[in-house]
Amino acid sequence: MIRPLSGVTVLELGQVIAGTYVGTILADLGAEVIKVEPLRGDTARNPGIVPLKGESTIHLFANRGKKSVALDLKDPRGRELFFRLVATADAVVDNFRPGVMSRLGIDHAALQKVNPEIVTASVTGFGEDGPAKDRPAFDLVVQAYTGHLSITGEPDRPPSRVGTPLADLAGSLFACIAVLGGLVGRGLHAEGFHADVAMLDSLVSLLAYDAVHQLNTGEEPTRQGTAHAHLVPWQAFAVRDGYVVIAAREEKFWQRICEMIGRPELEIDPRTADNQARVANRELVVETLEEWLAPRRRDEVLQELQAHDIPSAPVNAVSEVFADPQVQARGLVQTYQHPVIGEVKYATTPFLRQPDDRPEAHAPVLGEHTEAVLVDRLGLDRSEIEALAAEGVVGLPHDVASSRSGGDHDG
């Protein structure tokens, strides 16, 4: 089938997650994503972090569906090859620190001279300007800096990070949106576009209504665990063999809860009759539900909740997620064949649900596509490529000591 971005070429100078998951999504949408790596590879290839059979699961997750071209951008000949690729491309994505693209001579202004309609997106920790722009940033640093740690976790415990690398993923998603917007705008206005996407900005944006509340009332959001500061009941409850969450946002759901637990009087009790009263009497509500829930098994509780059409869910372990009939029915677990380690299972992009939608492309071996891309796109012949490889300008799979060694990006 023809995917939405079929015919679009993206050059990715990405490392680890923030600059690479962008390309994964674009590749899933049909773009040809050419991952331009240093000769030692993207640091996501480091198998010492989350290893699987000698490969890094970060690389296996974040780089599927791409082509790998190993290129030394610090060598003038490597830069020249990159510029020639830019002339054939539609977008360039990077996540170097601010200033690195300029020092390499390949920032947006330089690329526009080669391709006036090029769309570029740079994902950084703190953005391209401001007093913190040069600070090193990882996901944990940005989660802390943006207040997400301060509102995550139990009230009487230390702050907690969101379990997934939220800052990296958010930066990638906003960069992906920016690239898509740039491609649409280029088609309408015949102009290039540059997006300065900071992980900082992305997570500040995702403070959402908590930001609106704090900015307009001066009140600090606080850690609530799984509970909600403004809705009761809305949290996880312990049952005999695990936990379930109950989210009674509307009064009709509270009324159904009262029916389920055999306490119809709580529907009219002034302490619990509406959400405002329940927030003021949170302990009463929680203790009442805990008393009913604690001796029951999780499956029994969930059956009761579903029978009464109350928004609820088990607190699943990750293994339970992938065994769940709904997850399986949605086709969210897919596989690809990796040339080194064989079958790799992964959680697919949400919009690729039908078998015909899904590309069968693996995360590439370092330099796996160097020759093919330079031949097909730039017209180089095998002898030229071999000579460049011998001089350390480009990397071929057999030239690389290990496709798992990590990288040397100045990021």
Catalytic residues: 168
Say whether 142 sits in a helix, a strand or coil: helix
Q: Are 75 and 392 in contact (CB under 8 A)?
A: yes
Q: Which amino acid is present at 78? A: G
Between CA 14 and CA 398 the distance in angstroms is 22
Q: Which amino acid is present at 233? A: P
Q: Nearest-CA neighbor of 36 among 379, 380, 368?
A: 368
Return all residues near 224 (Cβ < 8 A) that are at least 6 apart. Answer: 151, 155, 235
Say whether 54 sits in a helix, a strand or coil: coil
Output the six-digit token pair for 122. 């740079």
Between CA 157 and CA 149 the distance in angstroms is 12
Q: Are 119 and 179 in contact (CB under 8 A)?
A: yes
Q: Are 73 and 99 in contact (CB under 8 A)?
A: no
Element holding 239 (H helix, E strand): strand 234-239
